[in-house]
Amino acid sequence: MTTTRRQSRQIHVGDVPVGGGAAVTVQSMTTTKTADVDGTLAQVYALKGAGADIVRITCNDVDAAQGLAEIVPRAPVPIIADIHFQYRLALAALEAGVAGLRLNPGNIRKPEHIKAVAAAALDAGVPIRVGVNAGSLDKDLLEKYGAPVPQALVDSAVHEIRLLEEVGFHDIKISVKHSNVPSMVAAYRLLAETVDYPLHLGVTEAGPPPGGIIKSVAGIATLLLEGIGDTIRFSLTADPVEEAKAGRQLLEYLGLRERKGLDLIACPSCGRAEVDVIAVAAAAQTALEAEKLPIQVAVMGCVVNGPGEAREADLGIAAGKGRGHLFIKGQVVRVVPEAEMVDALVDEARKLAAEGVEARLAAADASAAALADETALELRGLRGDVNHTAARRAAVAEVAAGDHG
Confirm whether 129 is domain-assigned: yes
Residues 80 and 19 both lie in one domain:
yes
Residues 247 and 272 both lie in one domain:
no
Confirm whether 27 is domain-assigned: yes
Confirm whether 295 is domain-assigned: yes
pLDDT value of position 1: 54
pLDDT digits (tens, 9 = 90+) for 34-86: 999 999 999 999 999 999 999 999 999 999 999 999 999 999 999 999 999 99
* Contact assessment for residue 188 and residue 176, using Cβ atoms and an 8 Å cutoff: yes
pLDDT at 196 over 70: yes
Q: Is 389 or 104 the better-scoring residue by pLDDT?
A: 104
Residues 238 and 273 both lie in one domain:
no
Total number of domains in the chain: 2
Residues 338 and 361 both lie in one domain:
yes
* Region of residue 292 (left: phi > 0; alpha: psi -120 to 50; beta: else): left
Cα 238 → chain centroid: 15
Q: What is the CATH number of the domain that holds 373?
A: 3.30.413.10
Residues 43 and 132 both lie in one domain:
yes
- Average pLDDT score, the chain: 92
pLDDT bin (cut points 50, 70, 90) of residue 129 is very high
Domain endpoint, select from 229, 253, 277: 253
Q: Using CA atoms, how far apart are residues 185 and 71, in angstroms rounded to an integer? A: 35
Measure the CA dihedral 132/134/135/136, to 10°.
Answer: 40
Segment 220-249 mean pLDDT: 97
Residues 267 and 244 both lie in one domain:
no
Residues 73 and 192 both lie in one domain:
yes
Q: What is the CATH number of the domain that holds 182?
A: 3.20.20.20
| Residue type at position 110 | K
Give ∠ CA 108-111-114 in degrees, rounded to 5: 55
Residues 14 and 125 both lie in one domain:
yes
> 155: how many CB neighbours lie within 10 A of its CB?
22
Residues 59 and 146 both lie in one domain:
yes
Confirm whether 36 is domain-assigned: yes
Distances 223 to 177, 187, 243, 306, 350 between C-alpha atoms, Å: 13, 11, 18, 33, 36
Report which DSSP code applies to 77: S
Residue 72: which domain range?
A: 10-253
pTM of the model: 0.86
Confirm whether 339 is domain-assigned: yes
* Contact assessment for residue 301 and residue 334, using Cβ atoms and an 8 Å cutoff: no
Confirm whether 362 is domain-assigned: yes
Confirm whether 180 is domain-assigned: yes
Residues 218 and 267 both lie in one domain:
no
Confirm whether 221 is domain-assigned: yes
Residues 202 and 296 both lie in one domain:
no
